[in-house]
Structure 1
Amino acid sequence: MSRQLDEKINALCKNPPAKYDDLKVLFLNCTLNRTPVLSHTEGLIHVAQRIFEANGVQTKIIRPVDYVIPAGLGHDMSETPEWDRDDWPQIQKEIDDCDILILCTSVWLGEKSSVCNRTLERMYGYTHDFNSKGQYRDYGKVGATLITGNEDGVKHCAMNILFSLSHIGYTVPPQADAGWMGEAGPGPSYRDEGSGGPENDFTNRNTTFLVWNCLHLARMLKDNGGIPAYGNMPDEWSAGCKAGFDSPEHKR
């Protein structure tokens, strides 16, 4: 991290518009590299993590690739004949416990990693569950993404990830994506010596904006009890209480 960025972070964190020390952030680093192999994506994660922690926010980084995560949409795939182990419920517990989820990935063949796809699929398997207000379970959480690589694809991956998070109930703030791409084709990755990644002003600016917009939105949601439970409760809709539409018994 550059000295100027560090100074800017410290200056911003001296007089924030609110307190954020009751918030929790989870980074799911969908690198293909298992711990402790170097992850370039984790280098960018550390920039965001530094700002969150400077505001007293609890942070945690998980690499899903370190776990056994079977394909499927069940809560626990070890209950099926095909699999005798499923670590996903451990990760889902961490997701349920956070206020802000940042789904992070490297770019391969212009797409998010296979690990990122698997992660979103397993999250999607929980979308038929509801929260305590009767909404889909991820209402009230904030979602964002960080992406690295040495080929094009940041915006393409971000569009897919942010849509996916929004589709399952996450609230996405403005400028909720940031990334770093080296030169197109073979070349240095983010944490390689001389890559210019950690010093890149555009990436550092966008990462900083992402963090603060996540903080502002999470603060507003938490202080107001999440998304209001009106017009968005599946069971009520199924029962015929269709806000904004005539109920079946009123049709002529």
Structure 2
Amino acid sequence: MPDTPAAPDVAGLRALFLSCTLKRSPEVSNTEGLAARSMDIMRDQGVEVELVRVVDHDVASGVQPDMTEHGWEVDDWPAIQEKVLAADILVVCSPIWLGEKSSICTQVVERLYASSAELNEWGQSVYYGRVGGCLVTGNEDGVKHVSMSVLYALQHIGYTIPPQADAGWIGEVGPGPSYLDEGSGGPENDFTRRNTGFMTWNLLDLASVLRAGGGFPARGNRRDT
């Protein structure tokens, strides 16, 4: 068997996990329980990792970068957006409700989209050169549906999506135990653990390749040409 491609150096990358749970802190989030596994892998490799629970912040609804300029008194999204743009890796984490991503996750996608017209120094969408992934939990069907929706949105606004860039856990289709519930089997589930590992390593490796190459080639994808 031929040697596999050399593993890139991922130390120093920055990753942001946006938790789209509907629960405000300090309530336990099952989705963040799954995210913790991915974050642990990244931290072990020297990656700077941060998680933001979006529902803890006053994020306005809308599709403009700063909604205080459009009638809202408070909008915490611009501060979160700064973290988004400082990260090489973005992982959107959502629970499933009625087979769909959470309302907070929809809001996050809308607010990310609001800045997609901004350009980087090469005239590309400001999200070019970054990689995206998705983590999903619930006790009803919908992991693949939610992942398709989120990953489509991320690539549409400029993120690069590596192979197998999503993972999830639903256990026995509900109502049933959630990921972190005692006896759920979620944290020990081989399939979920494997796919979470695949997603994490693929995000790290692709982000490192893009970093080493100085971003995504600006040829045929510039907004100003």
- Of the three residues 119, 126, 133, the one matched with 2:122 is 133
CA separation in 1, counterparts of 2:208 and 2:7? 10
- Of the three residues 150, 160, 169, the one matched with 1:161 is 150
Superposition CA RMSD, Å: 0.9
Q: Percent identity?
A: 53
CA separation in 2, counterparts of 1:70 and 1:220? 35
Q: Deviations over 1:94-148 (max 9, x none)?
A: 0000000000000000000000000000110101110011101100000000000
1:101 aligns with 2:83: no
CA separation in 2, counterparts of 1:94 and 1:88? 10
Q: Secondary structure at the match of 1:235?
A: coil
Structure 1 runs (4+) greater than 4 angstroms displaced:
none
How far has the Cα of 1:21 moved from its partner? 1.5
Please list every run of 5 or more consecutive structure 2 residues that lacks an aligned counterpart in the other structure.
1-5
Pairing of 1:173-192 with structure 2 (within 5 A) = 173-192=162-181
1:217 aligns with 2:186: no
Pairing of 1:77-96 with structure 2 (within 5 A) = 77-81=67-71, 83-96=72-85
Q: Deviations over 1:43-85 (max 9, x none)?
A: 001100110011000000001111111111111111222x100
CA separation in 1, counterparts of 2:174 and 2:202? 32
Pairing of 1:1-252 with structure 2 (within 5 A) = 17-81=7-71, 83-236=72-225
Q: Secondary structure at the match of 2:224?
A: helix
CA separation in 2, counterparts of 1:225 and 1:185? 46
Taking structure 1 as the reference length, what is the TM-score of the superposition?
A: 0.86
2:3 aligned residue: none
Whichever of the two has the greater Rg, that structure is: 1
How far has the Cα of 1:166 moved from its partner? 0.2
Query: Contact conserved, 2:8 with 2:209, CA < 8 A, in 1?
Result: no
CA separation in 1, counterparts of 2:28 and 2:17? 16
For residue 173 of structure 2, what is the amino acid of its counterpart?
Answer: A
Q: Deviations over 1:3-41 (max 9, x none)?
A: xxxxxxxxxxxxx82321210000001000111110000
How far has the Cα of 1:92 moved from its partner? 0.2
Please list every run of 5 or more consecutive structure 1 residues that lacks an aligned counterpart in the other structure.
1-15, 237-252
Taking structure 2 as the reference length, what is the TM-score of the superposition?
A: 0.96
For residue 163 of structure 2, what is the amino acid of its counterpart?
Answer: P
CA separation in 2, counterparts of 1:55 and 1:216? 11
How many residues are paired up? 220
Q: Secondary structure at the match of 1:192?
A: coil
For residue 77 of structure 1, what is the amino acid of its counterpart?
Answer: M
- For CA contacts below 8 A with separation 6 or more, give which structure has more relative contact order: 2
Query: Contact conserved, 2:166 with 2:196, CA < 8 A, in 1?
Result: yes
Query: Contact conserved, 2:23 with 2:55, CA < 8 A, in 1?
Result: yes
Q: Deviations over 1:147-191 (max 9, x none)?
A: 000000000000110000000000000000100002112111000
CA separation in 2, counterparts of 1:168 and 1:86? 22
